[in-house]
Structure 1
């Protein structure tokens, strides 16, 4: 009987054949042994399914492939979690790669800090030739260190707690202070407390989920890259931009409804002015008064 907790590596796929084999190889090379792979596929039309089927007999661990009716990326992520058998969820996207010690180090940190809600790590970058250029260089410069100035360190681990919400720079880019899904690991049963990923969101659904965890429990960031995040022209962020999909216009409303009491005073005042019913009534009355005075 294996004394190590089972970790479910969750891979939501859609037409991921170009980089998927490299992703799977990084799982095969993990130093942590008690794992399973959960693939939830949104009707891929390329070689994704063939790659998965060929990988199954070669793997040292169970590989489960589930065919999912496309209902958005959040629904596919949630399907991965629902199908997982493990105590822990480790997302890995179809174009990203784990360092060989990724899961072992994350589980080790969890063993030392059982009260935390999520473990993440720094990440390095794989830049495909079609993404080389000034835009990518500027993006990396801006988003390479998501926790810059935000954390207290202990034994090379960065600690985030609810005080993060009160910081003056919390509402300043980068809005995601934790990392992409490939960079995190969390207990499956956390969804019983905070719910699943929101299916009405496309761009901010990952860190909206992380922040729900952070409201309940601290988050730890291992201060070294344990995953490689691939930058290329076909990644979801670029596709969303091409289709003018933008969740950021409702981010403030989410903060107002779910996090208002945790925010700093400046953010509280700004959001109350923007969304509270009392503020809206006062602004309406002022407008009517000004109109009346002009008529006179």
Structure 2
């Protein structure tokens, strides 16, 4: 699989803990990717430790942070809080590979049947994993996602809505913060690297390509931090039109499959 390509830089395990008890049946893996977000990462981790879902695994991937003491901060937090999790792992990339590779590294270390993805500058409410997991299991879905709350430099509610492949092909409204069935991630070959961003949009389009089913949980469960250093702010919006063209090129079948029907003119 390309997500485990041999030319990728090696990673190192900086912290590892595992309970002696058998792996729980309802284990959910929480995968956090970090790059120079030492000022935010502790809040993100605290929000994960506060989850009401009991059986959790935590995998943090640091994508070679060089401008702050992220690794030391995460290590210290894990040393103090590892007992909350069935397994707790910190993986450090030896060179910066970008968010897609960091997420794929996290998935490769994840042991749960379901995996929740989050960037280190965001947070989730205590009931988030329990609600998303309940919906995924009860409905037999390959992914579940929720409504977002934007906070920081901007305060508003997100634009998430029911899973509608035709609408998503036209405009993405599903964030990367979602609970995914690990088998589905494997089937779509993980996340792909896109230079200017939109890796999450590309991932959902691959989901639709394979006819996987996702479900919208209409609750505000996740918090998206708006700040001047985010990759979305600095790169993706600037390259909006070129990224749209890239998505159409990467998924030509979807554009044809979900193209609106031509209007019928009366004679």
TM-score with structure 2 length normalisation? 0.79
Q: State the match for 2:217 in structure 1.
A: 222
Superposed displacement of residue 4, structure 1:
3.9
Q: CA RMSD in A?
A: 2.5
Count of residues in Structure 1 that have an aligned counterpart in Structure 2: 235
Which residue among 88, 96, 103 is the counterpart of 1:77? 103
118, 126, 148: which is aligned to 2:143? Answer: 118
**Secondary structure of 1:185's aligned partner:** strand
Distance in 2 of aligned mates of 1:244 and 1:261? 25
CA distance in 1, matches of 2:35, 2:250: 28
**In the alignment, is the contact (CA less than 8 A) between 1:74 and 1:201 conserved in 2?**
no
Pair 31,23 (structure 1): closer, same or farther in 2 beyond 3 Å = same
Work out which of the two has the higher radius of gyration on C-alpha atoms and give 1 or 2: 1
Show CA shifts across 1:65-84 (max 9, x none): 11113222211111111121
1:49 alignment partner, one of 71, 74, 78:
71
Q: Secondary structure at the match of 1:57?
A: helix
Return the alpha-carbon distance in structure 1 between the equivalents of residues 239 and 217 of structure 2: 34
Partner Cα separation in structure 2 for residue 213 and residue 113 of structure 1: 17
Indicate the structure with greater helix content: 1
Counterpart CA distance in 1 for 2:69 and 2:32 is 15
Report the counterpart of residue 281 of structure 1 in structure 2.
none
Matched residue, 1:205: 199
How many Å apart are 1:126 and its aligned residue? 1.4
Counting only pairs closer than 5 Å after superposition, residues 253-272 of structure 1 correspond to structure 2 as: 253-265=249-261
Instruction: Tell me the TM-score normalised to structure 1 length.
Output: 0.72
For 1:265, what is the secondary structure of its paired residue? coil
Cα shift at 1:200: 3.3
Q: State the shift of 1:191 in Å.
A: 2.5
**Residues 1:21 and 1:192: Cα distance change in structure 2 (over 3 Å):** closer
1:276 maps to which residue? none
For 1:111 and 1:66, how far apart are their aligned partners in 2?
A: 29
Gapped regions of structure 1 (runs ≥ 5): 148-157, 267-296
State whether residues 204 and 248 of structure 1, in contact with CA within 8 Å, keep that contact through their aligned partners in structure 2: no
Greater strand share, structure number: 2
Matches within 5 A, 1:82-101: 82-101=108-127
